[in-house]
Amino acid sequence: MKSVRRSDSSGFTIVELLVVIVVIGILAAITIVSYAGISKKATEVGLQTDLTSAANKLKMYYAEYGVYPDSLDGSGCPTGSVTPADAKYCVKVSPGNTFLYSSSSPYSTFTLNETNTASTTTYQIANNTAPIYVPPHTGILTALGTPTIAAGAGPYSIVVSADGSSVYAANYSNNTVSMYSRNTSTGLLTALGTPTIATGSYPMNLAISADGTSVYVVNAVSYTISMYSRNTGTGALTALGTPTIATGTSPWGVAISADGTSVYAVNANDNTISMYSRNTGTGALTALGTPTIADPTRPRNIVVSHDGSSVYTANATSNNISMYSRNTGTGALTALGTPTIAAAGTPYSLAISVDGSSVYAVNSSGDSISMYSRNTGTGALTALGTPTIAAGTTPYGLDISSDGSSVYVINQNGDSISMYSRNTGTGALTALGTPTIATGSNPMTLAISPDGNHVYAVNGFGNTISMYARN
């Protein structure tokens, strides 16, 4: 009998394979969406849990002392600048999250924001609320209904206190600091009853300690730092008994470490950094045993990383950024093995993100921003794959929002602010759909309120401060 060969096969047809692939794809998509949803929910639950626990700690502090802490240090502990310090009531946050605390005189209320740095998800709690979701900012600025307030002659730099209640501007043409109280809801500024205090000759930049008790101003012509104590209730400044300390030649920038123990000034005409220890009780400065360290040509600005381990300077003539490690015990600086990294052209100002992963420099002659990633272990900087992004005409000052999602740049000769969104993962900047907003004449520097809701710019020729809401 003749056998018959079977013509069918045990393999899959193309149609069957396509069906299987589509099914796998659908299942994978469902899995990814489900995981993303679970991950998002876990992040939100973690933030709410942290905030509820933190609020309970703060309320226990209130029960003992009758006030809430005026501020918390970088570890989340009450600092004791006005209200008592007490390590029993340190606020703890989960890894990968950052917090922003605010309380003002008479310290009967508080707000605490916590942000997940990876997702930029933010929740907020207050003394009388449960945790609530805070929608992300778009970053677009809008001039306030009252768009400006008068400053002194030639305002050059501006800072906002960590509690958000005060703003100060250094006026180089009449050697004063203008003092303002800030409405933390509307963002509007009001000059104090005594609106100014005298400084040295040609004040250029100023800095305020994280605990809010001290303000320092570098005076470019008198080669000094003016030292002030700050009344954390009223915001008024008072010169210390010894009101100044010597610097190098033509100090231009000043910075304070987050722990409040160190102050640094860059000296543009002798290419050095002056290093000081700070008495956290009185605010007085003392030069370190080795009082200076060499810096490249014409340093104009200086920043300290929030973890206190690194310091960076912008060097206008040598077109680079200097990188230093900081001894967190003594405050002394040491140049990194590779001490500098190139910038694009006449860098004038620097900013470092709160999470410490990014550093930015504005290039005045290059009309651009140089973008760097930061090794949080070594402090070394690396230019991003796309190393620069365009700014306006003659960019001069910049700042980063506390949530890390926005960067703003002052364009001195463009009378404008350039607005960017920041990728919190890569650090890369992207110009917003509305890329700029107008300022007054010859803007110099800007500052963002700690809550991220308002931006302030000083106008050097207009003798005003422009005030904006941040959406």
pTM listed for this prediction: 0.79
Q: Is the peptide bond before 203 cis (omega within 30 degrees of 0)?
A: no
DSSP designation for 293:
E
Q: In what order do the strands lie in the sheet with 395-400?
A: 395-400, 406-411, 416-422, 429-438
Return the half-sphere exposure (C-beta side, CA atoms, 13 A cut-off) of residue 74.
Answer: 13
**Backbone angles phi and psi of 33, in degrees to 5:** -60, -45
User: What is the pLDDT at residue 8?
Assistant: 53
Rg (CA), the chain: 25
User: What is the pLDDT at residue 4?
Assistant: 47
Domains (ranges, CATH) in the chain? 17-134 (no CATH), 141-470 (2.130.10.10)
Q: In what order do the strands lie in the sheet with 141-150?
A: 141-150, 464-470, 454-459, 443-448
* Binned average pLDDT, 10 residues per bin, the chain of 471 residues: 51 76 77 64 87 93 91 80 85 84 80 82 90 87 97 98 94 97 94 98 96 95 98 95 98 95 97 97 97 95 94 97 97 98 95 92 96 96 98 96 92 97 93 97 96 95 97 92
User: What is the pLDDT at residue 25?
Assistant: 78
Which H or E run includes 277? Answer: strand 272-278
User: What is the pLDDT at residue 38?
Assistant: 63
User: What is the pLDDT at residue 103?
Assistant: 79
User: What is the pLDDT at residue 117?
Assistant: 77
User: What is the pLDDT at residue 404?
Assistant: 87
User: What is the pLDDT at residue 1?
Assistant: 47
